[in-house]
């Protein structure tokens, strides 16, 4: 062989290796990498041309043909594996075998992603050294897997300062959710925060929720134990506008009110306020009533019109004492089939609750449904004095035998209601404006308000129950589901014997078997040879 030509071949091979390493490190084809690869190709071409006759002679040998066949088969197998891997990356199936589905999105997030009308993108500004980057990458893969309309990109703000300035980035580890001309920043890797950002940018209209005030209701800005600040924050995270309203100052419920919440008035409402609420519902309004025991008697009479029967009682639950709670904090584990409680299996707590039944048979035009009941060991105690003395007990014929229903929902067909109650208005009173044709009102009644205050809101399923009811009333059914779960720490505890077995089996026994079997095969072949 010609020595200079061989040197050229070795130099070409070296340049090829260096160029491949540079390309792998840079992640793209730079001019210097392209120069190395072109130089490598030229030198290798010189080598093959200069040794053409020798190479041709080598190729004619049987051993060379077998070697080339082996190389060709290896390339084909690797190509098939690469093709299958490419298909698997595009259309792969994930199985989450963890106990609480830690590596799966919540049903709420999955449903939201399935209903995306258009593409939504997330720009994740994370430096390479950011400790939360691997967590965010895994989270983004879960979102991408759930919808073909979701796409994401990771950008290093140190290497791309122009893009960081474009989005007014202030903190490393910020995700920018972009949809059409809307953007929303996310400063955490929590699924709840990411999903809420998607809700905010995709919602066409921000819905308004009004909480009543003026009768001792818990304040939505009150951060004390009895306040509703946590509920307000959760609603705002879902892009609701949450406000307070003093009905005595209003001539009518505001036009932008998508949901009216009467949250535990301690004194009875005035007749004028009850009339405002009735007119609002009769015009197709949506209302949520959270009513404490032995209060709001006028509202109780009004709600009878919409298919509800509120008991003048308080629920006593012996089962809650077994669970370590107060017997006046009934535990709910039984939920009826409804959009609000669909797939709901988490227990919830209702301190100081009253019974809420539905009328049977229901009035024409009203579809009422029970949502949840307490345990069979509970009852609705009607003797308030006995309760105050601590002497409450179930009295047949007077108290309501358990299980006791404590919340219900109804849909009111206003056309049928109007036809049934159609009477000429007195001359001195203006007739109410008729509801729009085909309009339906929605009402949900809970026999308790404290279950949604700051003390109990985060307990078990309380927040989910409250938010599901709000979303159903506001006709945001895509948001009704179980909220994202927190990772559950489940350590593996082994006995001393199990620990020793875990060491000996994979570390000693299995490798030892392989060595013994291999030695036997080798000795047996040598004896035959």
- Given a cut of 90, whether residue 247 has pLDDT beyond it is yes
pLDDT bucket at 505, cuts 50 / 70 / 90: confident
Write out the two tokens for 9: 């071949």
pLDDT bucket at 58, cuts 50 / 70 / 90: low
pLDDT of residue 482: 61
Question: Which residue among 169, 199, 229 closes a domain?
Answer: 199
Write out the two tokens for 501: 């077995």
Distance (Å) of CA 131 to CA 25, 135, 350, 485: 22, 8, 41, 22
308-336 tens-digit pLDDT: 999 999 999 887 765 556 788 999 999 99
pLDDT bucket at 428, cuts 50 / 70 / 90: very low
pLDDT of residue 27: 63
Asked if 16 and 44 touch (Cβ cutoff 8 Å), the reply is: yes
Q: Are residues 12 and 154 in the same domain?
A: no
Question: Which residue among 37, 56, 90 closes a domain?
Answer: 90
Q: CA-CA distance, 34 to 36, in Å (whole number)? A: 5
pLDDT bucket at 429, cuts 50 / 70 / 90: very low
Pick from 33-37, 93-97, 104-108, 153-157 the range whose average pLDDT is largest: 153-157
pLDDT bucket at 267, cuts 50 / 70 / 90: very high
pLDDT of residue 430: 45
346-383 tens-digit pLDDT: 899 999 999 999 998 878 889 999 999 999 989 999 99
Question: Which residue among 58, 90, 122 closes a domain?
Answer: 90
158: CATH = 3.40.30.10
Average pLDDT for residues 56-70, to the nearest whole number?
72
Q: Are residues 455 and 529 in the same domain?
A: no
pLDDT of residue 322: 54
Q: Are residues 168 and 192 in the same domain?
A: yes
- What backbone phi and psi angles, to 5 degrees, belong to 407? -160, 150
CB neighbour list of residue 177: distance below 8 Å, 6 or more residues apart: 120, 121, 122, 183, 184, 185, 186, 194, 197, 198, 200, 201
Residue 12 in any domain: the answer is yes
- Given a cut of 50, whether residue 427 has pLDDT beyond it is no
- Given a cut of 80, whether residue 113 has pLDDT beyond it is yes
The neighbour count for residue 422, using CB atoms within 10 Å, is: 8
- Min mean pLDDT across 299-313, 364-378, 436-450 is at 436-450
- Given a cut of 60, whether residue 12 has pLDDT beyond it is yes
- Given a cut of 60, whether residue 488 has pLDDT beyond it is no
More confident residue, 518 or 323: 518
Domains contained in the chain, number: 4
168-198 tens-digit pLDDT: 888 899 999 999 888 999 999 988 889 989 9
Residue 205 in any domain: the answer is no
pLDDT bucket at 228, cuts 50 / 70 / 90: very high
Q: Are residues 149 and 264 in the same domain?
A: no
Distance (Å) of CA 264 to CA 400, 447, 509: 22, 9, 68
pLDDT of residue 41: 84
Q: Are residues 354 and 449 in the same domain?
A: yes
Q: Are residues 252 and 321 in the same domain?
A: yes
Distance (Å) of CA 458 to CA 104, 159, 231, 462, 467: 22, 41, 9, 6, 12
Residue 47 in any domain: the answer is yes
pLDDT of residue 109: 87
Distance (Å) of CA 495 to CA 430, 501, 505: 81, 10, 15
Residue 54: which of 94, 2, 4 has the closest Cα? 2
> Residue by residue, what is the 3-state secondary structure of 458-477?
CCCCHHHHHHHHHHHHCCCH
Average pLDDT for residues 120-128, to the nearest whole number?
95
Q: Are residues 291 and 382 in the same domain?
A: yes
pLDDT of residue 35: 87
| Mean pLDDT computed over every residue of the chain | 85
pLDDT of residue 422: 62
pLDDT of residue 23: 75
Full residue range of the structural domain in which residue 522 is found: 494-529
Asked if 355 and 405 touch (Cβ cutoff 8 Å), the reply is: yes
More confident residue, 312 or 55: 312
Q: Are residues 388 and 407 in the same domain?
A: yes
Q: Are residues 173 and 214 in the same domain?
A: no
- Given a cut of 60, whether residue 215 has pLDDT beyond it is yes
pLDDT bucket at 89, cuts 50 / 70 / 90: low
Q: Are residues 438 and 511 in the same domain?
A: no
Residue 487 in any domain: the answer is no
- Min mean pLDDT across 46-55, 283-292, 455-464, 518-527 is at 46-55
- Min mean pLDDT across 217-226, 271-280, 482-491 is at 482-491
In the sheet that holds 241-245, the strands lie side by side as: 241-245, 208-212, 257-263, 286-290, 440-446, 405-413, 366-373, 334-335
pLDDT bucket at 125, cuts 50 / 70 / 90: very high
- Given a cut of 70, whether residue 166 has pLDDT beyond it is yes
Q: CA-CA distance, 393 to 491, in Å (whole number)? A: 44
Q: Are residues 512 and 439 in the same domain?
A: no
Positive or negative, the CA dihedral 516, 518, 524, 527 is: negative
Residue 98 in any domain: the answer is no
Q: Are residues 356 and 389 in the same domain?
A: yes
Residue 149 in any domain: the answer is yes
- Given a cut of 90, whether residue 133 has pLDDT beyond it is yes
Residue 488 in any domain: the answer is no
Distance (Å) of CA 299 to CA 82, 290, 308, 393, 404: 69, 11, 11, 28, 20
Residue 486 in any domain: the answer is no
């Amino acid at each position: 062989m010609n020595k200079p030509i061989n040197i050229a071949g070795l130099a070409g091979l070296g340049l090829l290796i260096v160029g491949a390493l540079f390309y792998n490190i840079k992640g793209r084809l730079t001019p210097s990498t392209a120069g190395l690869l072109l130089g490598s190709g030229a030198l290798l071409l010189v080598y093959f041309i200069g040794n053409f006759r020798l190479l041709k002679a080598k190729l004619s040998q049987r051993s060379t043909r077998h070697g080339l066949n082996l190389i060709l088969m290896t390339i084909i197998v690797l190509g098939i594996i690469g093709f299958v891997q490419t298909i698997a990356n595009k259309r792969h199936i994930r199985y989450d075998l963890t106990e609480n589905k830690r590596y799966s999105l919540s049903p709420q997030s999955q449903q939201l992603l399935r209903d995306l009308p258009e593409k939504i993108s997330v720009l994740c500004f994370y430096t390479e050294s950011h400790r939360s980057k691997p967590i965010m990458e895994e989270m983004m893969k879960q979102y991408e897997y759930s919808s073909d309309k979701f796409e994401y990109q990771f950008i290093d703000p140190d290497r791309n300062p122009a893009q960081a300035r474009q989005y007014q980035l202030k903190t490393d580890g910020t995700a920018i959710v972009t949809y059409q001309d809307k953007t929303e920043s996310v400063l955490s890797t929590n699924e709840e925060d990411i999903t809420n950002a998607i809700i905010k940018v995709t919602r066409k209209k921000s819905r308004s929720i009004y909480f009543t005030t003026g009768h001792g209701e818990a304040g939505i800005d009150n951060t004390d134990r009895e306040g509703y600040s946590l509920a307000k924050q959760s609603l705002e995270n879902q892009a609701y506008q949450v406000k307070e309203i003093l009905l005595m100052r209003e001539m009518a419920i505001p036009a932008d009110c998508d949901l009216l919440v009467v949250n535990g008035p301690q004194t009875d409402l005035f007749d004028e306020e009850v009339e405002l609420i009735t007119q609002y519902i009769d015009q197709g309004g949506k209302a949520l009533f959270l009513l404490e025991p032995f209060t709001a008697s006028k509202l109780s009479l009004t709600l009878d019109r919409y298919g509800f029967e509120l008991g003048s009682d308080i629920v006593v639950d012996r089962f809650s004492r077994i669970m370590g709670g107060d017997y006046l904090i009934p535990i709910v584990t039984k939920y009826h089939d409804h959009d609000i409680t669909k797939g709901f299996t988490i227990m919830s707590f209702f301190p100081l609750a009253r019974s809420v039944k539905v009328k049977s048979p229901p009035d024409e035009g009203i579809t009422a449904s029970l949502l949840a009941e307490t345990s069979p060991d509970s009852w609705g105690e009607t003797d308030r004095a006995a309760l105050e003395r601590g002497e409450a007990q179930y009295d047949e014929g007077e108290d309501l035998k358990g299980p006791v229903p404590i919340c219900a929902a109804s849909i009111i067909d206003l056309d049928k209601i109007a036809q049934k109650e159609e009477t000429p208005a007195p001359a001195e009173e203006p007739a109410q404006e008729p509801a729009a044709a085909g309009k339906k009102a929605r009402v949900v009644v809970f026999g308790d308000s404290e279950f949604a205050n700051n003390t109990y809101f985060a307990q078990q399923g309380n927040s989910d129950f409250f938010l599901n009811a709000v979303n159903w009333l506001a006709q945001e059914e895509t948001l009704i589901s179980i909220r994202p779960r927190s990772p559950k720490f489940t350590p593996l505890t082994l006995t001393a014997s199990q620990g020793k077995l875990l060491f000996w089996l994979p570390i000693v026994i299995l490798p030892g078997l392989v060595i013994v079997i291999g030695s036997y095969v080798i000795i047996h072949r040598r004896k035959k040879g």
